[in-house]
């Protein structure tokens, strides 16, 4: 039996930065965070119209560590030091593996994985100095079951999940106030032309609430939409749970 354990967001304060802010989900996320009272900056490689007047747009290609440093310096000058980072910048090229080149493949990895690392590298020193911070990496389960024509995307997104675990392994014991999680928002409309995908505005509400949870108990967890994603149990484990009359508990956003 699965039991949900609801958890409430903390009071909104601080400075939030969202990368990939020019996408539908990115714009919705920045707006949802701004509506909660946070100071918000959205980073995008191309110009975009923010979804809320309180969002500061910042142009930068997160693949470029120099551009990332300059972008975060500008954010600090305008809003202050970031306390929340949501790594959402990504590319999803549809290419057969026989059409991939070393250059095209690594370009995907550099954005989806390298961009997230560059931004984490930019915010972590100040988070460490404060002893607290919040980082969310937007991931997928593409590494578990790669789709056709998505080798670069699947590999880079899988590696991003490993980056999250590596960050927690290095920082979790020494800086438990820096809470890092993975979030799978679900396939959202109109991504890949799926008509019944998740509305980006709905997903953004989940993401904004997740960003405001600073409870150390969620450090390293994976969230699927609005609740914790638990890995499947083995048959032996399920039988043991049934015999002992115990259910599994997962965190759910409120």
Question: Which residues does residue 228 pair with via DSSP β-bridges, in sequence order?
Answer: 223
* Mean pLDDT along residues 153-161: 97
Residue 54 phi/psi, 5-degree rounding, is -85, 0
Q: Tell me the pLDDT band of 12, cut-offs 50, 70 and 90.
A: confident
What is the tens place of the pLDDT at every residue in 197-211? Answer: 789 999 999 999 999
Q: What is the DSSP letter of 216?
A: G
Residue 188 phi/psi, 5-degree rounding, is -110, 150
Output the DSSP codes for 163-180: HHHHHHHHHTTT-TTEEE
17 CB-near residues (< 8 Å, 6+ apart): 40, 41, 42, 43, 72, 75, 82, 84, 85, 86, 119, 123
249: pLDDT strictly greater than 60: yes
State the pLDDT at residue 60: 98
196/209 Cα distance (integer angstroms): 23
Helical H runs in the chain? 24-35, 65-78, 102-109, 115-130, 151-171, 200-211, 235-244
Q: Tell me the pLDDT band of 245, cut-offs 50, 70 and 90.
A: low
- What is the maximum span of the chain, computed from C-alpha positions, in angstroms? 59
State the pLDDT at residue 207: 97
* Mean pLDDT along residues 68-88: 98
* Mean pLDDT along residues 126-145: 96
Q: Tell me the pLDDT band of 35, cut-offs 50, 70 and 90.
A: very high
Contact by Cβ (8 Å): 143, 182: no
* Mean pLDDT along residues 115-133: 98
State the pLDDT at residue 253: 81
Sign of the four-CA dihedral 44, 47, 52, 56 = positive
Domains and CATH numbers, the chain: 2-253 (3.40.50.720)
The pTM of the full predicted model, rounded to 2 decimals, is 0.91
84: pLDDT strictly greater than 60: yes
């Amino acid at each position: 039996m699965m039991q949900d354990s609801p958890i409430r967001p903390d009071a909104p304060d601080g400075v939030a930065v969202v990368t990939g802010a020019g996408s539908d989900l990115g714009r919705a996320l920045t707006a949802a965070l701004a509506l909660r009272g946070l100071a918000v900056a959205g980073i995008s490689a191309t110009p975009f119209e923010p979804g809320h007047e309180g969002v500061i747009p910042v142009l930068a290609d997160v693949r470029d560590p120099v551009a990332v440093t300059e972008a975060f310096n500008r954010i600090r000058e305008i809003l202050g030091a970031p306390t929340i980072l949501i790594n959402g910048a990504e590319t999803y090229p549809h290419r057969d593996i026989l059409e991939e080149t070393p250059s095209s493949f690594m370009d995907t990895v550099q954005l989806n994985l390298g961009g997230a690392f560059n931004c984490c590298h930019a915010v972590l020193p100040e988070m460490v100095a404060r002893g607290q911070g919040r980082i969310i990496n937007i991931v997928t389960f593409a590494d578990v079951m790669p789709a056709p024509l998505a080798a670069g995307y699947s590999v880079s997104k899988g590696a991003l999940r490993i980056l999250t675990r590596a960050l927690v392994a290095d920082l979790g014991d020494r800086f438990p106030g820096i809470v890092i999680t993975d979030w799978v928002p679900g396939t959202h409309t109109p991504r890949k032309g799926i008509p019944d995908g998740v509305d980006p505005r709905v997903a953004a509400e989940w993401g904004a609430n997740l960003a405001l949870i600073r409870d150390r108990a969620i450090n390293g967890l994976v969230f699927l939409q609005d609740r914790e994603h638990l890995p499947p149990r083995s048959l032996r484990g399920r039988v043991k749970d049934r015999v002992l009359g115990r259910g599994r508990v997962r965190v759910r956003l409120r």
